[in-house]
Amino acid sequence: MDSTSEKRYWYSIFRVASYVSVFGALIWTVAMVLPFSPFSELPPIMVGGGPGQWLVVAYLLYISLGAGAFGWLSGLLHVIERGENREVSPSLMWPGFVMLFFGVTASCVSLGYAGASGGYASINGASSSLHQMLSPYVYPVTATTVVAVAGAVLVLLAMIRARGP
């Protein structure tokens, strides 16, 4: 077996992450248009504004960051690993990848769930308790966003520090 077949290529791992995110976005899209409860409540929540906009933002962020950013990073890594024949440090890339994937997924899902539950309460007249309902989501969304940003920094550092043959 030659050394090329044993080598791990990070671009393929990021491509799989992009595919997983596309699949997650497809599930999220289908869930938003299902004609039965609780999914049938999502379109009125999104149109209702307020917390329902959190759901829309989370959905768009998940599509752009999940599918788009992981696909874009896969393309950059392909150029680095295959085109330039440089090797990316796994000691930076593994934690960066895990933090980025977990952070993007967790923050978008948390923000979407907060938007859906707050929007549901809002369209059903419980607007006085919206602040109390949504405040528990602020720190988890913030923390997972920080994790995603830290992961992105590690991934970019690993790409910048990639070594040639």
Write phi, then psi, for 87 (nearest 5 degrees). Answer: -110, 135
Q: What is the pLDDT of residues 61-118, one digit of tens each?
A: 999 998 899 999 999 999 999 999 999 989 999 999 999 999 999 999 999 999 888 8
Does residue 105 form part of some domain? yes
Which residue type occupies 37? S
Domain, as residue range, for 18: 8-160
β-partners of residue 87 are: 163
Assign residue 28 a region (left: φ > 0; alpha: ψ between -120 and 50; beta: otherwise).
alpha
Does residue 1 form part of some domain? no
Does residue 24 form part of some domain? yes
At residue 37 the predicted structure's pLDDT band, cuts being 50, 70 and 90, is: confident
**What is the Cα–Cα distance from 81 to 83, expressed in whole angstroms?**
6
Does residue 2 form part of some domain? no
Q: Which residue has the tokens 């992961």?
A: 151
β-partners of residue 163 are: 87
Looking from the CA of 129 toward its CB, the CA atoms found within 13 Å total 7
Which residue type occupies 30? V
pLDDT score at 1? 40
Prediction pTM value: 0.87
106, with CB counted inside 10 A (0-12, 13-18, 19+), is middle
Alpha-carbon distance values, 124 to 12, 48, 49, 117, 154 (Å): 46, 11, 13, 11, 44
In 2-151, DSSP assigns E strands to none
Does residue 165 form part of some domain? no
Q: Between the CA atoms of 85, 91, 96 and 99, what dihedral angle is there, to the nearest 10 degrees?
A: 150
Please give the tally of structural domains in the chain. 1
